[in-house]
Amino acid sequence: MLGKIGLEEHFAIEETLGPSMGFASARVGFKEKLLDLLEIRLDLMDKYGMDMMILSLNSPAIQAIYNKQEAIDVAKKANDIMANAFAQKPNRFRGFAALPMQDPDAAIEELHRAVDELGCVGVLVNGFSQIDDKDNIVYLDDPRYRPFWAELEKSGKPFYLHPRKMHPKNAGLIDGHPWLDGATWGFTVETATHALRLLSCGIFDEYPDLKILIGHLGETLPFLVGRIDNRMNIVRKAGFGPPAQKPFYEYMAKNVWLTTSGQFQTAPLLATMMEFGSDKIMFATDWPFEEVQEACEWFDACPISELDRQKIGRDNAIKFFGLDL
């Protein structure tokens, strides 16, 4: 399929490169691919039929800069560099802004600057933030973020919840099993749990028009949300349910969109389509941690209707972001 739009397409700047180089995907030339904005990736996009990449910074990047002022400065710098790329090639690139969640007021300010001045189509945050100290980790359901969610809802822009590695104090679960860390499994546990915290905390009752994007076909949640709600009913009746008023499925169906990043498997895609419909799913590669070629060749050939391929590959994104393509 020609004209695909990808939603999880990463780059780095020198200041955020470090942690990404530790991954097994850090092959020869990997650093160049991550730092590149307009050359290597454009060639790949042309070759495999991608019209557009919605760019985002690598992980954990800003969320791991526990000095607040530094987090603010690096986020601004990264957003400016990214915006320069999409200003040069507006038909090929857009971007999700990085945000310094260490300081909720500064995050709100950068949200407005990124959307109103730079033209970002949304924001992407890499899970929990380390604040002031590397061991002080804060998740997005924390009450300090309520004003941020209010402003985000007003902006009408989506929030992409992207994985990061578990903090050592939570990683006892995979202690001695480093091969289960990162994108193998640790990212999924961390991010699905974080998403469930958000679905639990009541923000979707308070701000019913929030739009959340979750990659990797929803980090397993489309396969588990039925069971989670069944059990949650019992928990609610027993008097220790969450602040959220509705079944999680309803928030997933209304407030959450899913992407195919790093999940180039037909059966999970079909299951996700059966659970939430093809309007809620959008194409993504996860470049350069995954290959554009593999993502595109799988998607172009996977056995779905051409109508669904067009929606997931392109049209849903045009509608979702209001792109003028």
Question: Is 183 an interacting residue with respect to ligand GRE (CB under 6 A)?
Answer: yes
Contact between 56 and ligand GRE by CB under 6 A: the answer reads: no
Q: For residues 48 and 45, what is the distance between their CA atoms, to the nearest angstrom?
A: 5
Question: For residues 187 and 204, which CB has a smaller minimum distance to ligand GRE in the complex?
Answer: 187
Q: Does 308 bind Zn ion (CB under 5 A)?
A: no
Q: Does 315 bind Zn ion (CB under 5 A)?
A: no
Closer to ligand GRE by Cβ: residue 64 or 304: 64
Asked if 110 touches Zn ion (CB under 5 A), the answer is: no
User: Locate tokens 């904005």: which residue?
Assistant: 37
Asked whether 190 and 168 are in contact (CB, 8 A), the reply is no
Contacting range for ligand GRE; rule: CB under 6 A; set: 18-26, 98-106, 225-233, 244-252: 18-26
- Binding partner selected for residue 182 from Zn ion, ligand GRE, none, CB under the kind-specific 5 to 8 Å limit: ligand GRE
User: Are residues 145 and 101 in contact, defined by beta-carbon separation less than 8 angstroms?
Assistant: yes
Best CA proximity match to 258, nearest among 203, 204, 205, 195: 195
Region binding Zn ion by CB under 5 A among candidate stretches 6-14, 35-43, 114-122, 293-301: 6-14
The residue among 9 and 51 lying less far from Zn ion, judged by its C-beta, is 9
Q: Quick check: 141 binds Zn ion (CB under 5 A)?
A: no
In this complex, which beta carbon is closest to ligand GRE, that of residue 278 or of residue 285?
285
Contacts of 218 (CB under 8 A, 6+ apart): 195, 252, 256, 258, 272
Chain positions 117 to 156 lying near ligand GRE, rule: CB under 6 A, are none
Please, which residues have CB within 8 angstroms of residue 74's CB and are 6 or more apart in sequence? Answer: 13, 15, 16, 61, 62, 65, 100
Residues 234-273 that bind ligand GRE (CB under 6 A): 262
Whole-angstrom distance, CA of residue 112 vs CA of residue 35: 25
183 binds, among Zn ion, ligand GRE, none (CB under 5 to 8 A by kind): ligand GRE
Active-site pick, 36, 286, 308, 315:
286
Segment interacting with ligand GRE (CB under 6 A) among 19-27, 101-109, 168-176, 271-279: 19-27
Omega prior to 147 cis, within 30 of 0: no
59 binds ligand GRE (CB under 6 A): yes
Give the ranges where the chain is alpha helix by DSSP (H).
30-35, 40-48, 68-88, 104-112, 146-155, 186-200, 203-206, 216-219, 221-237, 248-255, 266-276, 292-301, 306-310, 316-321
| 132 catalytically annotated | no
Contact code string over 269-298 relative to Zn ion, x by CB under 5 A: -----------------x------------
State which residue, 217 or 232, has the beta carbon closest to Zn ion.
217
Q: 9 forms bridges with which residues in the sheet?
A: 55
Question: Taking Cα atoms as reference points, which of 60, 142, 62 lies closest to residue 110?
Answer: 62
Sign of dihedral through CA atoms 300, 306, 312, 316? Answer: positive
Q: How far is the CB of 147 from ligand GRE (least distance, A)?
A: 28
Q: Considering CB under 6 A, how many residues would be counted as binding ligand GRE?
A: 11
Angle between helices 68-88 and 104-112 (to 10 degrees): 10
Site residues (CB under 6 A) for ligand GRE? 10, 20, 23, 25, 58-59, 182-183, 262, 286, 289
- Residues with catalytic roles: 286
